[in-house]
Amino acid sequence: MTKLPDQTPPHGGDVYFLARSLGVNIGDLLDFSANINPLGFPPGLTGAVEEALKEIVHYPDRRSLKLRAALAAYHHLTGEAILVGNGSTELIYLVARALRPRRGLIVTPAFSEYEHALNLARVPVAFHPTGESHNFTLAEIPEPQAGDLVFLAHPASPSGVLLDPELFLRVAAGVEAAGAYLLLDEAFVDFVEEASLKIHLGRFPRLMILRSFTKFFGIPGMRLGCLLGAPELVARLSGEQEPWSVNTMAQAMGVACLAESEYISRTRTLIKREREFLLDRLAALPGLTSFPSVVNYLLVKLTRPGMTAAALRQQMLAHRIVIRDASNFRGLDERFFRIAVRGRKENERLLAALEQCLRI
Ligand SMILES: Cc1ncc(COP(=O)(O)O)c(C=O)c1O
C-alpha cells in the first residue's frame, strides 16, 4: 500500500511534496487545499508574458510604474499609495521588519506567516483569539496596549466570514489613536470586492491593506501582491524593500490581470454559485458543520465524536483529493478542515469522496 504523508503541512497547496511522497504526478491530484481560481489564469496572460520576455534583458522597473498605475486606477487610489511585492507574503515580512513594532498582535486563527514574520524580526507576539460563536471573526476591540502592529484578516481566514464594518471602524480608530499600525489582510476580498474596506484608507494613515494576485487570478507560482496605504507609509516601507523583488514577468502579468474584466466577473459568478452548491450539499452530509464563507474557501468542522481532520485528510488522499487539515491554525483543533471552492465536476468528486469517507 502507498505510504501517505501524515504530518500537517504549514500551508495548503504543497502539491510538489505530496506528489513526490505519494509517487504520483501533480496532475493526478485534485487539490482542494489551496484556494486558487478554478478557471486557471486569465487568457490574456500568455500574450503578456511573451511580450515581457523581450524585456528580461533589462533589470525590472524598480518602481513598477505601469503596474502601480494600473492598480491605482483599479482601486481608485494614487500610485504613491501602492507598494507591490513578491506575493503579499513578502509585504507581511517587510511590514513586520520595517515598522519596528514593540509587539505584534495577531487576531487568531490566522495565516501562519504573520507570526513567523514577527518571530524573524525578533518582535514579541500576542494573540487576540476569536470564537466559533462569532464564526472566528473579531467580536470586540483588542486592548490598545496589546500590540502596536495589529494583523487582522478580512474576510477572516480560514472561516471566510466578513468583519462587521462598524467594528472595523472602531478598531481602526483605536489603533490610530494609540499610534499603532493595522495591517488588514484582504488577500481574498476580490471575490466580494464591494466589501473591501479600502474605501476607508484616507481616514486612517496607519492602516495598510494587503492584496494578492495569487488566489483570484490563479497565479500562485508567479508571486505578486500589493499593499495599499498612505503615501508616507508606503514610501517608508518601499525604502526598506529589497531591490527588484517584483520581476518583469510578474509586473506585466499584473497589468494584464487587471484588464480582464470578463474573467473577473465570470470568476465572481462561478465562485458564488459553486460556494452555495457546496454549502448546500455539505449541510446534507452527516457529521459536518460549515461556516458561512463569502469567498472561495470553506471552513468545515467534524462534529461526530472521534473523527479528526488528519484522519479524513489521509482517507481523502487515497482518493487523490487533497484537503487542508486546519488543526494547526491557532485557536482551531483537530476537528477542523478547509476546502477550496472549485468547478462543478471537481466539487462533485470532492462530495462523493467525502460521503464515502464519512460513511465509515
Ligand atoms: C490570508 C492570507 N493572506 C496572505 C496570503 C499570502 O498570499 P500570497 O503571498 O500568495 O500573495 C495567504 C496565502 O495563503 C493567505 O491565506
Is the separation of the CB atoms in 127 and 112 below 8 Å? no
Q: Is residue 2 part of a domain?
A: no
Q: Is the CB of 89 under 6 A from ligand 1?
A: yes
Give me the domain span that covers residue 317. Answer: 15-31+262-359
**Boundary (domain end) residue, out of 207, 233, 260:** 260
Do 174 and 206 have their domain in common?
yes
- Degrees, nearest 5: CA angle 307-347-331: 40
Is the separation of the CB atoms in 149 and 183 below 8 Å? yes
CB atoms within 10 A of CB 173: 14
**Boundary (domain end) residue, out of 260, 290, 314:** 260
Number of domains observed in the structure of the chain? 2
Q: Is residue 92 part of a domain?
A: yes
The predicted-structure confidence for 12-71, as pLDDT tens digits, reads as follows: 878 999 899 889 999 999 999 999 999 999 999 999 999 999 999 999 999 999 999 999
Q: Please give the distance, rounded to the nearest whole angstrom, from the Cα atom of residue 214 to the centre of ligand 1.
A: 8
Ligand 1 atom 15 nearest Cα:
111
Report how far Cα 202 is from the mean position of its chain's Cα atoms.
Answer: 24
Instruction: Show the cell assigned to 204.
Output: 486612517
Kindly report the backbone phi and psi dihedral angles of residue 85, in degrees, each rounded to the nearest multiple of 5, phi listed first.
-140, 170
Mean pLDDT on 261-267: 98
Q: What is the pLDDT of residue 14?
A: 87
Kindly report the backbone phi and psi dihedral angles of residue 263, in degrees, each rounded to the nearest multiple of 5, phi listed first.
-60, -40
Q: What is the pLDDT of residue 4?
A: 61
Q: What is the pLDDT of residue 128?
A: 97
Q: What is the CATH number of the domain that holds 139?
A: 3.40.640.10
Q: What is the pLDDT of residue 1?
A: 46
Q: Is the CB of 111 under 6 A from ligand 1?
A: yes
Do 143 and 222 have their domain in common?
yes
Distance CA 92, CA 164 (A): 23
**Boundary (domain end) residue, out of 242, 260, 278:** 260
Mean pLDDT on 240-265: 98
Residue of higher predicted confidence among 3 and 297: 297
Q: What is the CATH number of the domain that holds 25?
A: 3.90.1150.10
Q: Please give the distance, rounded to the nearest whole angstrom, from the Cα atom of residue 167 to the centre of ligand 1.
A: 23
Q: Is the CB of 153 under 6 A from ligand 1?
A: yes
Q: Please give the distance, rounded to the nearest whole angstrom, from the Cα atom of residue 60 to the centre of ligand 1.
A: 23
Instruction: Indicate the average pLDDT of the chain.
Output: 96
Distance CA 298, CA 272 (A): 12
Q: Please give the distance, rounded to the nearest whole angstrom, from the Cα atom of residue 192 to the centre of ligand 1.
A: 16
The predicted-structure confidence for 98-141, as pLDDT tens digits, reads as follows: 999 999 999 999 999 999 999 999 999 999 999 999 999 999 99
Q: What is the pLDDT of residue 6?
A: 60
Radius of gyration of the chain from its Cα atoms, rounded to whole angstroms? 20
Ligand 1 atom 16 nearest Cα:
111
Is pTM beyond 0.85? Reply is yes
